[in-house]
Chains A and B, each alone.
Chain A
């Protein structure tokens, strides 16, 4: 099942860049927080407290370790396919080059097969979406990706992200 558009958008933010005070505010809104904690109880502590600068930095370091520098959980489709690893990147880049797709910042600086890019596109397809984009580009690797993320991080924030991605 394709997740709700807003959930996709949230997940895409969490994968695209380090957590910001604005996103944290969203996560800590009582109605949102309650549901997130239901999904991932480990997240309760980080969603209940005020974050210091050190907390944000710690999250940024973990983000870098997971997704940026020698990433332990590469967020690019190319890293997850032994056959035709460049296929998804090629497909998205083709759309960009043809002018059929425009990505907003910060997604425009990510590689075209980045999970965050795929999720933001999926979340933008609207009511006419026939599920093909999800089936072709996201479904084949999101389970493996979210499972690896859950296994490779001890951070409650990224445990939560993995849980959201798992669906």
Chain B
């Protein structure tokens, strides 16, 4: 067809269409199109404070919007945690919001699950199908067959409100994947309210860090780092780090010691030994607040000599001794720090209890410059939160479902469907646990400490348990969850999600099309964090509680919706009383009501983004504060020292110290629980031998079973986080992936020499199952393997090899999977940048001659829950390495 013919055909086509029944739609254009400024113009752009969602920190930020597009994110100086500081991940929110592959419409699977065939559907169709599946579960008295499973839920109660109103206890999380091993010791010591510490880093003189990495990736890391830097630069504070690799934190420490994985507790034990031997303990504080005798502690740690610890950990005994003395002499302006590095091991829970004991022994707890505690739950108006008005979810409360068990007040029907072995175990539990038991997905009976304090769950066992049919699932709703990529043995996750008998219907709520959503039957597009409201609160490293507001900078893209909007609509369509719990008319009215008790107006709160009573006294020595007259009204006030003070209802509210009623700690005994018989109690309840270190009522060191007698040709395979990424959630963020898009196997050059490999060589890592009392322990043979290339890194422990686990996606679009087309999803970048690479496509793709998008490693990591608590022991894996 010639050009002239084509032109004629198009003209005829236009005429034919005009003469047809075709009714064209027209845009209303009132003014000519002008060219807005490409550069961000601060005189025209609108600044709105909100809360970052790029990682777990949730920093106060300010978003600049010009011409309807978010152009820039910067720190909000009113945020008392960040004090205006910001990390690179926050900028990733722009690409997270605008990337061309974001899910913008409800989608329904066509063809087989996982086949990748989808069609767009309307919200009405989506709601109709979902309600058609959910409503009968309620009506038939099996609401527990609806399983809601989230990866990151910062709705602060909206989702729980929905699951409670529905009647299911299955609001599952990923706490065990993250931090349950390290939260348990804290709650054991200080009570449920204190599951995360808040060191007074800007006033400290000495920090001993057991594998924490706040300079790079740590819950609260950004809040901590700038305070710690000020203390170090301005006041000469010292940072000592024990780590298996030269992390950013280790590298920037005053002293860094390479430590054998899983032996942090041994070092802490030797420090306790040294402090006691040198007489540097704070006896007054210990005797006043610890629930354990100092002499018994002395006996417990007698064998933990520095020389013994050196043999375990590789840290020189002389250094352990010196550091212990320096630490104790700096008290009370000293503190410990630990996180996954110390805790995500078979022995991590007890190791962290030894670390926590260090702070009690030197009496730095709650002191200036010390190991302070500011409740995470600042919004709940509970213990220690008098700095905030009562800010509670404003909708009519839905009560918790009935616990599962036998007898009045229990859900017997659900209980009797459980395997006999499980029923027998639960029947033998103490009454207090029976009242918290909700089946094996929510409250796995083999891991009672995962739900003793609160429901931390054991997320990595959800899929094996479904596979074992411990719980029937009719509707599975995943929400911002990346288990099919990021959980250990993620191949099992995918196997279960693909099985339509085990999971008859999977609806995924997310922003991106990742490995999890690709295995759904329906996908609902969620509004991004820059498009919605959320209630924000966290502990403040400035030690004065505050609250913040996530608020929309732009309207939701496409047809995406917020969770409150989705759940309100679902509740009303399901009906049967659910609608009574969702009375708000729109999101803003919900949040406005939520914050109605703030002493500033809603508009002013939106303008600031943060509220805090900065004139309030800092949260030092909360435990010494006298009970108020209001608290003491109707209370029983005994006279004996250390007797408990109870309120009119008989609840313990304080303790007598120096003849006066003070708060003490929110533990049952109002003291610090250095000794806690919950550990042997739990061990007995589940049949864990009391010889296993996890059963000890006091912190102690015990070896990681599979690390004992580690053979010459076996290594410990560990993972770590980069500073620009957030688990597996950020591999498709262009800004972040530009910086880190691959995950080589890091090893010490000496390790490479021993293996006969050079930098850049490819190796195959074969990982074995763990030993001890855990899931599929001791099974012979390789459980998983992967191939990757090698990078040398001096400072690594020579028996350790490590990969990051963020990358290696096969979904999540061209950035996530490192493939390249012409597409350059870097929308939002309209500035003139010095780095022209930022404007290009996936320049690191193999098609472009780059290194590609990394290697997925999580199929090769065994499910390995720590006994009793269930936290995943990410860093215990034993592997062999073969050069390819």
Binding site for B on A (CB under 8 A): 1, 3-7, 9-10, 12-13, 17-18, 23, 25-26, 29, 31-32, 35-36, 38-39, 57, 60-61, 63-65, 68-72, 74, 76, 78-87, 89-104, 107, 109-112, 117, 120-121, 123-125, 132-133, 136-137, 144, 148, 167
Q: Provide the bound-state CA to CA distance between A96 and B31, in Å.
A: 11
A6:B69 contact, CB within 8 angstroms:
no
Find chain B residues with CB under 8 A from A120 CB. 25-27
Contacts of B811 in A (CB 8 A): 70
User: For the complex, what is the distance from the CA of A44 to the CA of B494, rounded to whole Å?
Assistant: 42
* 28 pairs from A and B in contact (CB 8 Å cutoff): A4-B11, A4-B17, A6-B17, A6-B18, A10-B22, A13-B25, A26-B22, A31-B19, A31-B20, A32-B13, A32-B22, A35-B12, A57-B110, A69-B107, A69-B513, A78-B100, A79-B825, A83-B839, A84-B830, A86-B828, A87-B38, A90-B830, A102-B27, A109-B104, A110-B558, A120-B25, A123-B26, A137-B33
Could you say which residues of chain B place their CB within 8 Å of the CB of A38? 1, 9
- Stretch of B115-123, B431-439, B780-788 that contacts chain A: B115-123
Would A132 and B830 count as touching, CB distance under 8 A?
no
Residues in B with CB closer than 8 Å to A91 are 33, 35-36, 67
CB–CB B69/A90 < 8 A: yes
> Which of A3, A9, A82 lies in contact with B839, CB distance below 8 A?
A82
Contact check, A94 vs B36: say whether CB atoms are below 8 A apart. yes
Give every chain A residue within 8 A of B829 (Cβ-Cβ). 84-86
Q: Does B618 contact A (CB under 8 A)?
A: no
CA separation between A16 and B17, bound complex, in Å? 18
Q: Please determine whether A32 and B26 come into contact, CB atoms closer than 8 angstroms.
A: no
On chain B, the residues within 8 Å of A93 by CB distance are 67-69
Q: Which residue of A lies closest to B554 (CB)?
A: A93
Evaluate contact between B120 and A101: CB separation under 8 angstroms: no
B contacts with A, residue count (CB < 8 A): 67
Tell me if B16 is interfacial: C-beta within 8 Å of chain A: yes
Within 8 A of A (CB), among B100-132: 100-101, 103-105, 107, 110-111, 116-120
Chain B residues whose CB sits within 8 angstroms of the CB of A85 once the complex forms? 824-827, 829-830, 839
Partner of A167, one of B10, B18, B110, B821: B10
Rounded to whole Å, the gap between the CB of B815 and the closest CB of chain A is 11
A-contacting residues, B24-47, CB 8 Å: 24-31, 33-36, 38
Q: Is B557 an interface residue (CB 8 A)?
A: yes
Residue B21 interfacial (CB < 8 Å): yes
Name the residue in A18, A35, A136 with the highest tally of chain B Cβ atoms < 10 Å from its Cβ: A35
- State in angstroms the CA–CA spacing of A61 and B110 once bound together: 7
CA distance A91 to B383 in the complex (A): 52
CB distance from A158 to the nearest CB of B (A): 14
Say how far B860's CB is from chain A's closest CB, in angstroms. Answer: 26
CB contact under 8 A between A9 and B25, given known A96-B68, A100-B30: yes
The interface residues of chain B lying within 8 Å CB-to-CB of A36 are 13
Task: Check if B284 is an interface residue, CB within 8 A of chain A.
Answer: no
Q: Give the docked Cα–Cα distance between A137 and B829 (Å).
A: 18
> How far is B24's CA from A39's CA once the two chains are assembled, in angstroms?
21
A68 B828 Cβ-Cβ under 8 A: no
CB distance from A50 to the nearest CB of B (A): 17
**Chain B contacts with A in 620-636, Cβ cutoff 8 A:** none
Contact (Cβ within 8 A) A29 B20: yes
Indicate if the CB atoms of A74 and B100 lie closer than 8 Å. yes
B110 and A78 within 8 A (CB) = no
B684 at the interface (CB under 8 A from A): no
Indicate if B709 sits at the interface (CB-CB under 8 A).
Answer: no
9 closest A-B pairs by beta carbon, nearest first, are A4-B14, A93-B68, A9-B24, A6-B17, A94-B67, A60-B119, A78-B827, A100-B31, A102-B28
Query: Is the Cβ of B13 less than 8 Å from the Cβ of A7?
Result: yes
Task: Give the contacting residue for A63; candidates B120, B513, B826, B828; CB below 8 A.
Answer: B120
Q: Which residues of A contact B841 (CB under 8 A)?
A: 82
- A69 B103 Cβ-Cβ under 8 A: yes
**Beta-carbon contacts of B713-756 to A below 8 Å, as 1s and 0s?**
00000000000000000000000000000000000000000000
Q: Which residues of A contact B21 (CB under 8 A)?
A: 25-26, 29
User: Contacts A64-B118, A90-B69 given: A144-B26 contact, CB under 8 Å?
Assistant: no
Contacts of A104 in B (CB 8 A): 25-27
Nearest chain A CB to B519 CB, angstrom units: 14
Chain B residues in 8 Å Cβ range of A31: 16, 19-20
Also in contact, A26 and B120, with CB within 8 A (given A74-B823, A87-B830):
no
**Given the complex of chains A and B, what is the CA–CA distance between A11 and B98 in angstroms?**
25
Q: Which of B7, B822, B827 has the most A CB atoms < 10 Å from its CB? A: B827
B823 to chain A, nearest CB (A): 4
Which residues of chain A are within 8 angstroms of B18 by Cβ–Cβ distance?
6
